[in-house]
Amino acid sequence: MMLVMINIILATSLNLTTGVLGQIALGHAGFMSVGAYAAALFSMKIAESGMVLVDADGPTAMGTGIFLASLMVAGAVAALFGLVVGIPALRLKGDYLAIITLGFGEIIRVIIENVEFTGGAQGLSGIPKLSSFNTVYWVTVLTIAILFAFGRSRHGRAIIAIREDDIASEASGIPNTYYKVLAFTMSAFFAGVAGAVYAQQMQVLGAKTFNFMRSIDILVIVVLGGLGSLTGSILSAIGLTVLPEALRGFSEYRMLIYSVALIAVMIFKPSGLLGTYEFSLTKFLCWLRNPNKPRRVKKGGAQNG
């Protein structure tokens, strides 16, 4: 379940760049790794000071506080990297941007493997497990709420306008570069948060975990859910995380079935599971209260004749 929530944070954050902004980015695993190592080193340093962060019942109140602080540290460091990469990279688009972000992710992985304070190729171990289900659940809910509100704000509408026609949006007075960098940096922030949760859940980190294929996996989740659909990213993250585990009993055919399922969805639903549609919680709650209530039909056309 923890992995499901981590993937939801990753997918919904990448959806901001790839779906809402419309720019293909392949460096999300790089931002995740930056956040993971930042949070791990931060929490390990605090643990060395002698503070009681974990007891027999799990994380203490102090441990939970340090965990939340590590999320902020991870997000801030990842956002800083996103800002540094985004300012020059987002002047490009399409395949060129994808190649640059892919290169960034690989550069980060190589650096992590070759510097001493990250543990090098050996990685980091002994990371205190400060995450708990309830805390990560509310972090996930807060992430979704922030991204949903951002998408409905004037900033989100400006980013959508850039996606639809960047020349027209700039001509209408929208600062394209500012909003592109804002979306990219915000996406990197939440990728760092997901990395922090991953680090303190797994308690062991290695650079190979955050390779190119990790970025592809996240992108597949977003595309399968529907580019621009936050709800689609959530449902896709749940499905693509649970499905391989559900097929674990079919070890010989597990990845074959998984691949066929992906291909089938993309053939019959090329725009993704939900396309750009967003699930409305308000409409769902209204339906639960009165499922037999007929849908309202707007009058017009022949009815007015």
Residue at token pair 């400060």: 130
> For residue 221, is it within any domain?
no
Residue 22 pLDDT exceeds 80: yes
Q: Enumerate the β-bridge partners of residue 249.
A: none
Structure tokens at 256: 């074959």
Q: Is 178 left (phi over 0), alpha (psi -120 to 50) or beta?
A: alpha
How many C-beta neighbours within 10 Å does residue 291 have?
Answer: 7
Which percentage of the chain shows pLDDT scores above 90? Answer: 33
> For residue 285, is it within any domain?
no
pLDDT class of 254 with cuts at 50, 70, 90:
low
- Report d(CA 221, CA 272) in Å as an integer: 10
Residue 196 pLDDT exceeds 90: yes
| CA Rg value for the chain | 21
H-helix segments, 203-277 = 212-225, 230-246, 254-268
- Report d(CA 148, CA 142) in Å as an integer: 10
Instruction: Find the domain containing 135 and state its range.
Output: 2-211
What does DSSP assign to residue 54?
A: E
> For residue 268, is it within any domain?
no
Residue at token pair 């992710």: 105
Nearest to 146 by CA among 294, 13, 2, 21: 13
The arithmetic mean of pLDDT across residues 34-62, rounded, is 84
Return the pLDDT at 137: 93
Q: Enumerate the β-bridge partners of residue 124.
A: 205
pLDDT class of 32 with cuts at 50, 70, 90:
very high
How many C-beta neighbours within 10 Å does residue 70 have?
Answer: 28
Residue at token pair 């056309």: 301
How many C-beta neighbours within 10 Å does residue 152 have?
Answer: 11
> For residue 176, is it within any domain?
yes
Q: How many domains does the chain have?
A: 1
Residue 287 pLDDT exceeds 60: no
- What digits encode the pLDDT tens for the residues 84-142? 988 888 787 778 888 888 998 899 999 988 888 888 888 888 888 888 899 999 999 99
Contact 139, 128 (CB under 8 A): no
- What digits encode the pLDDT tens for the residues 141-183? 999 999 999 988 999 999 999 888 888 988 888 998 899 999 9
Residue 289 pLDDT exceeds 70: no
> For residue 265, is it within any domain?
no
> For residue 153, is it within any domain?
yes
> For residue 262, is it within any domain?
no
Contact 201, 71 (CB under 8 A): no
> For residue 75, is it within any domain?
yes
